[in-house]
Amino acid sequence: MPSFTSHVVANLLSLLALSLALFAYRRSIIPIYGAAPTTYSLNSVVILASLVHPFPISRRTTLLFGAFFASTAPLLTYWVAVWTARWDMPIVGPLVTHLATVWPLVIMLTSLAAEPKIPIGYRVLASLGCSAGGIVLSNFWAETRVLRVVSGNQVFIGLATSFLNLWVATSPTTSMSFRKKKATSPFHSRYMKLALFATLNGSIWASFNLLRSPILPHPLPQPYYHPTFPLVIHSSVQSLTGLIVVGEALPPPNDGGSGADTDMHSMRYLRADHSLLGGVWVGDKVATIDNAPPPVDSFDRPLGDSIYSTFVLHEAARLVNSTSRTAERVAVIGLGVGISPIGFSRHGLSTTIVEIDPAVYDAARLYFGLPEHDDETLFLEDARGWAARRRKNLSTDSLFDIIVHDCFSGGGVPEHIFTIEFWSDLKASLHQQGVLVVVSLVIPSVFCLIIFLQNFAGSIVSDSSRMISQTLLKSFGNCRAFHDAQHQITEAQRTTELVNIVFFCTPHSSPLTFRKARKSDYLNSYLREFILSDLPKREVDFELLTGQLDDEFIIRDDHNLLGELQNNLGHHHWQCALPFFSCSSVDEILVMRKVLPDIFWETF
């Protein structure tokens, strides 16, 4: 039945178009806002927009308006998001962006699924079904590897072109100017359509550069130098965990080296969407103790200290002297720019890396000095599966002396690798024997010193910190904690300060102790000297973190409230500063987007 067939086709086209539009839209503004603020109200806006059908709209009219809104979507999405992001309102800003860009497009696209001649109730139901299906399908596109190289510009302009072609294809077969003639040639009408097809398609693709947003192509074919700001983007690629960007703040054009250093410059950073995974100082800001040769990247360009002090604090694991065992093998879960594995490697330790995103590993290797790892020491996969597999292969896999688990990013953590079940799997990969000491007596094997480090950024006193600390304590039994702030944390700041807390845990029964840092521990780094030399002053009372012990705070696979709590605090991360910098209070919090100029977040 033709009418039924056309109705089914219209519904499928509407579903496909809406899902692709939502996929492209979400991917375009997440690097500006972050995932949590972007998605907070997006689905609600889509559903509400699909319910707006005050009067029937013909499908040809819908196609025409849909083409208009799709063609303007790239520029509108980017510039409205840039404008609203500067309000520093992570809920209101994205909502305004959704209403300005997604709202009209959803109305048009869901109208394709609603036959204009049917009652309004059925039209609303059809539109609602289309919007719900579009939301689900858009999540599928986000996981589709082939679409990582397709830009949002191409998706939106492609949709606009498709709508215009459908509009021409569904036009009357006879030209309006010849309707009164009795014998109009069908060939003439066909040629008119072909001419219109060619004209519209040629015009819209010729206007591509005018319609496209300033968002860079992914992958980036060559470094992009910003035309009006001292900023270069070395690499930008869509990958498993989002958009992975390597950027560098260049020295100011008129920097003579004598003025006050008030601008953020000479700094190379790594982004994953709206999260900073780390960075290093470059150029004139490279400095070493005793003028020792600095590390270099794969292009032999000198690299300075980390902009994050957290990664340096990881290396305090080497200072543990609870047993006489000397650490030899390290596993690092969560790579970032590679500061931890680079540091441990420079100290002579064998380092294994577990990183879920291949693009992060590539960036760390090319731009941040990470040595290349082979298949025996590099695992590009989720840590949960890696830990479970190692537990089954303990007879063949070697155990680790130190495991660094640093998976915090973007105001949230992957809660499935914070459960007590995961710690149980991971603990099985840790050494259970210590250093053998030859004495005059037969002494049982001493337990090997195992350090587990967990980088957790958040308020020192919070339900999230209680969950993580109590779960770690239950899993390992022996823990201490330290912060990486550049100043002492006062009593008043304990409930407001957002800092990185590094937990050191061991299953060993001996009290966890640390030796005093020596010059050789600093690797000629001023930051390492600053952080490691006053380690005792950085300790945080572990009972302050755990609070009263309660099994309700133990994170389990079947009882995991960490994700929900993170959502409540996620907007603070969007507003809060880098751990390298400090926030004084909730009311005087340094906005993350103010730590770096807005243009850093807007150029990707």
373: CB partners within 8 A, 6+ apart:
351, 352, 353
Residue 245 maps to a domain: no
The string of pLDDT tens digits covering residues 35-47 is 888 998 999 999 9
Q: Locate tokens 């680079």: which residue?
A: 342
Residues with Cβ within 8 Å of residue 395, at least 6 apart in sequence: none
Q: What is the CATH number of the domain that holds 434?
A: 3.40.50.150
pLDDT for residue 62 is more than 70? yes
Q: Which of 189, 211, 233 is a domain's end point?
A: 211
Residue 208 banded pLDDT, cuts 50, 70, 90 = confident
**C-alpha Rg value of the chain to the nearest Å:** 28
Q: Phi and psi of 245, rounded to 5°?
A: -120, 130
Residues paired with residue 329 on neighbouring β-strands, in sequence order: 350
Q: Give the least confident one: 98-112, 137-151, 544-558.
A: 544-558
Q: Same structural domain for residues 315 and 188? A: no
- 275-281 and 267-272 strand pairing: antiparallel
Q: Is residue 269 a part of any domain in this protein?
A: no
Which is nearest to 110 in space by CA: 186, 222, 18? Answer: 18
Q: How far apart are CA 518 and CA 535, in angstroms?
A: 12
553: amino acid identity, one letter: F
Within a domain: 286: no
Same domain, 383 and 523: yes
pLDDT the model gives residue 440 = 28
Per-residue pLDDT, 583: 33
CA distances from 512 to 121, 191, 328, 509 (A): 68, 84, 19, 9
Residue 294 lies in a domain: no
- Number of folded domains in the chain? 2
pLDDT at residue 576, rounded to an integer = 43
Please report whether residue 102 resides in a domain.
Answer: yes
| 205 and 319 housed in the same domain | no
Least confident of 33-42, 46-55, 236-245: 46-55
> What percent of the chain has a predicted confidence (pLDDT) above 70?
80
Asked if residue 107 is part of any domain, the answer here is yes
Distance CA 62, CA 56 (A): 10
Distance between CA 341 and CA 331 in Å, rounded? 8
pLDDT at 179 over 80: no
More confidently predicted of 30 and 413: 30
The burial class, CB within 10 Å (0-12 / 13-18 / 19+), for 354 is buried
Overall average pLDDT of the 567-590 stretch? 40
Asked if pLDDT for residue 180 goes beyond 60, the answer is no
DSSP per residue, 492-503? GGGGT-EEEEEE
Q: Residue 298 falls within a domain, yes or no? A: no
Share of the chain above pLDDT 90, in %: 44
List, as own/partner pairs, every contact residues 10-14 make where C-beta atoms lie below 8 angstroms and the sequence separation is at least 24, other chains included.
10/59, 10/112, 10/113, 10/115, 11/112, 11/113, 11/126, 11/130, 13/112, 13/166, 14/109, 14/110, 14/111, 14/112, 14/113, 14/130
CA distance 294 to 287: 8
Determine contact, residues 476/503, Cβ cutoff 8 Å.
Answer: no
Top-confidence residue, 173 or 140: 140
The three-point CA angle 150-153-155 to 5° equals 60
Is residue 569 included in any domain, yes or no?
yes
At residue 57, does pLDDT exceed 80?
A: no
Helix (H, G, I), strand (E, B) or coil at 370: coil
Domain extent at residue 198: 2-211
Closest CA to 76 of 136, 160, 148: 160
Could you tell me which residue, 349 or 193, shows the higher pLDDT?
A: 349
In the numeric block, which tokens belong to residue 577?
């500063």
Give me the helix-helix angle, 2-33 and 120-142, nearest 10°. 50
> Which of the listed residues 211, 233, 255 is the one where a domain comes to its end?
211
Of 162, 178, 211, the domain-final residue: 211
pLDDT top residue among 9 and 468: 468
Q: Using 50, 70 and 90 to split pLDDT, how confident is the model at 74? A: very high
